[in-house]
Structure formats: structure tokens, C-alpha cells
Amino acid sequence: MSLNPKTGEQLKNFWGYSTMAFFAPKASYASDGWDGNQVREFKEMVKAFHGSGLEVLIDVVFNHTAEGDSSGPVISFRGLDNVVYYCLDPESKEYLNLSGCGNTVNCNHPVVQAFILDCLRYWVLEMHVDGFRFDLASVLRRDDKGEFLPGRTLVDVIEQDPVLAQTKIIAEAWDAQINQVGGFPGRWAEWNDHYKNDVRRFVRGEPGMVPVLATRIGGSSDLYQGSGRRPYNSINYITCHDGFTLYDLVSYEHKHNQENGEGNQDGTDQNYSSNSGVEGATNDPLVHALRLRRMKTFATILMVSHGVPMILAGDEFGRTQQGNNNPYCQDNETSWVDWNLAETNAGLLRFFQKIIALRNRHPVFRRSHFLTGEDTNFDRHPDVSWHGLTLNKPDWSGRSRVLAFMLDGSELPHERRDDDFYVALNGDKVKHSFQVPPLKEGKHWFRIIDTGRESPEDILDEDQGAAETRGKRCSVLPMGAVVFVSPNS
């Protein structure tokens, strides 16, 4: 590792993505990493999480190892059988680099397949984890020459293994050359980077994003429906460890990775971010207000979308990496979670807590089928109806930056019958007025979310919202979101 050009300090492999001992927890994560204590601590951690009703999934990296390219060290696999464990160029015998990390593991050789399966089974049977997220999982579908295998691969073997049958398996469904989001089989879930990019582009004010945003909110049927899969195969997210935090997404137009010692050349340039008017730190109250509104709007879209939402740790209270979108080598304040922010940004934390609870209470946001616009109970309201500023007139044009929709909770099966919701989203730089759908006599809309309002008025419990007049219009601030509920009980 190189030195931090700003501080002169030695940079470290903080993420631990250059794996060699695949059966061992990373010792530096333990309070006492000597004499195998990390194994005991890991088991105690899992037991404590399970005791609190939480599952534990671990990130596994089988696409490359710490031995790197031909200039890297010989540690184990290279010395045991180089041709078996790595993908090599058929002519030059150089290491193929489909991982971007110097080498590519030959995952579909029988010996390597057996090794990986033994490793996964160990973490389930001995360490009691509940599932795995597979880094650059498209490598798991390649042959020894790096070619994509159309038939049965390690991906299928993992899915069908009896020991792993009850685990959750999540793919980062791409590698350095190919993106296969929507293409993994059966019960595999996938990080949906289409969701991430499309929602980011809408909330940064790009035109032409309304049709695809509706598809993402409805469960990404374009990616999963054709193969018989469901919305829950899509892991929806705005941010992850790899890239900007949520706060940085609305505070930086460009990456600032100079302290990584690579001349700011590392990390993606496709962030679809917007600094809300000023690059980085500022005391401007208007910029701060816009950033906070956009963060809450991101959270709102994520929680009303069909699919499985994923939140990056610290986003719930505005953690920043000072614009670094690749802090893999920063074992310092850049990457550490500052828990004091939970108090400093208590209003944002409250918003996240309440909108997560709202989603958990209402199955209308968690249907197992894609939103289709069908009226299955003949109440003249489909499961979803799309609108623009005017009812029943969604603007799918390239210039549009607004979208509204109504979810009919009575379209759910009787035992899961739910309330109705109306959501208005404004991705424009000016305020817009949306027409609110009319309801039956005696029913009312209650405004429970307005990301343009200050805490605690930005999100209310269902029984706290003030009743709105039927047919009224509502104003939504730039980059804002408003949510209404109408109880069906």
C-alpha cells in the first residue's frame, strides 16, 4: 500500500477484499485478534445478533485473491497449482483480470468449486451466518479462459446445495467486463445497480427519467419478470460501501480521492451526484436545507419501492467521507462511523426510523408481484395508478421531471388488506403543484410525509396527519416528496 499524500501515513487494506484465508475472520476487526480469538468473537457476535432477531450476512470475495498478478506474492494457490486456481490467457499465460484486482479465480474448475462450497458450508455450519453477498459474482459463471459459461456453473451449484438451501444468496451481478443484473437464476437476489443509477439521476434533476423511475418503483419488471422472478429478487439501494455515502451524494459533484495516493484516478466517475449548489462543506443554510430534503426524498423513494431495500450504515444520520468514493485504504475518520452524528443529525435519523417502520407496517409496499395497473377486485382502482401534475395524466416525455402514483391497498389479498397511499415526487428545480386523487364519500387523505418540512413535521404517524380536503392540490418543493395515506379500516 502507498502513503497518504496529505498526511504521509501508511495506507491500509481497510476493507479486507484481498482474501487469502477464506475460512478465517479478519483479525483486525476483532477487539483481540490474537490466538484465534477473532473466531470466538465472531461467533459471539452472531449469537448476539440472532438473540436480537437480526440475521447476519457476510460479504465474500471469491473472484480474486491477495496473490494478485504476476508481480504479486506466492502465498498458497499459485504455488499449489497455478493453472487450476486461476484463469490464464490461453497464449501468454498471463493472469486474466476480470476482477480489476490483478487476477481471476478459476471458479468452475471442480477442485475450486469444491473449495468454495466447503468454505460456504463452514461459515453456515460452524459460524452460523444466514447468507452471503458475493463480490463481482459474474466471475462465478466464467471458465478457465474467462469466457462466459452458458450452462450449469458454480452459481447454480450454490443455489441448489442442500446445506446452503436456507441461506440468503445475493450477487453483485457483474464483474469488470459484464453486467448481468436480472440474469442470475432462481432464488438468487441481486444488487440492482439500475435502480441505484435511475433513482440518483431522477433526484439530481435529469430529464427523461420518469418512465424508468416508475419501472424501478414497481419492482423492476424489465429485469426480473421475464425469467419468472419476483420483486424480492431485486436489492434496491441508493448507496453502498463502494461509492459515495448518501450525504456525499448530495454534497459533491465529483469524487475527491486524492488521499488514496492514486492521483484521484481510482473510484468511479459515474456517480450521478449533485452538490446542491456548493462543492463540499458550506455554511449556506439554503444548501443545507436542499441537501437534507434530497436525502429524505431518496429514503422515501427507496421505502415505497417494490423490492428489498438496502441502506448503507451511517446514511441514516448523514455520515460523510469528504467526497472520497473509494475509501478502501482509509482506516481512519474517513471510513469510520461517527456515532455522534446520531445526535447531531437526530432529525434525519428520526426520519429514517419512521419511514422504515412505515414500510414494515404496510404490505402495500411489499407485494410479491410487480405493479401491473390491474383492477383485480373491480373497485375502479388498480393496484397502482400513475399520475403527473394532473390526475391520470402521467408525463412520460423526455422533458418530464415529476411523477405521482396511488397504491390501492384493497387490491391485496383479504388477510393483507391495507390502506391506500398517494405519493408525489418532484425531481425538478422548481416547486410544483400536484392534483390529489378524489376518494369515496367519508374518506380522507392524511399527509404523513413532506420531505420539505423540518423535523418533526417531515414525517408523522398515520394517525397524526391532518385530513386534507378531497380533490385538493398539494405543493411539492424542488427535489421533494410528499406521501398521503387514506385508511381503509
Same-domain check for residues 268 and 378: no
Residue where a domain terminates, one of 339, 360, 381: 360
Residue of 32, 89, 91, 135 with catalytic role = 135
pLDDT score for 257: 97
Instruction: Catalogue the long-range contacts made by 161-167 (C-beta closer than 8 Å, 24 or more residues apart).
Output: 161/117, 161/120, 161/121, 163/120, 163/121, 163/124, 163/125, 164/120, 164/121, 164/124, 167/124, 167/129, 167/130, 167/131, 167/132
How does pLDDT run across 369-399, given as a tens digit for each residue? 999 887 666 667 789 999 999 999 999 999 9
Are residues 163 and 120 part of one domain?
yes
Helix (H, G, I), strand (E, B) or coil at 322: coil
Mean pLDDT rounded to a whole number for the chain: 95
Average pLDDT of span 162-182? 97
Over residues 269-285, the mean pLDDT reads 97
Number of domains in the chain: 2
In a domain, 164, yes or no: yes
In angstroms, rounded to a whole number, what is the distance separating the alpha carbons of residues 96 and 145?
8
- Is residue 58 a part of any domain in this protein? yes
Query: Which helix (H) or strand (E) segment is 40 a member of?
Result: helix 37-51
Q: Which domain CATH number covers 318?
A: 3.20.20.80
Tell me whether residue 16 is in a domain: no
- Is 135 catalytic? The answer is yes
CA distance 258 to 256: 6
283 shares a domain with 392 = no
415 is catalytic: no
Which H or E run contains 301? Answer: helix 285-304
Q: Which structural domain, as residue segments, surrounds residue 476? A: 371-486
Q: Is residue 197 located within the same domain as residue 163?
A: yes
CA separation for the pair 404, 394 (Å, rounded): 8
Q: What is the pTM of this model?
A: 0.96
Q: Could you tell me the pLDDT band of residue 1, with boundaries at 50, 70 and 90?
A: low
Between CA 422 and CA 445 the distance in angstroms is 8
- For the chain, the maximum distance between any two Cα atoms, rounded to a whole number of angstroms, is 77
Q: Say yes or no: 78 and 101 in one domain.
A: yes
Alpha carbon distance 201, 167 (integer Å): 33
Q: Which of 67, 144, 172, 411 is catalytic?
A: 172
The sign of the dihedral angle between the CA atoms of 221, 352, 207, 386 is positive
CA 241 to chain centre: 9
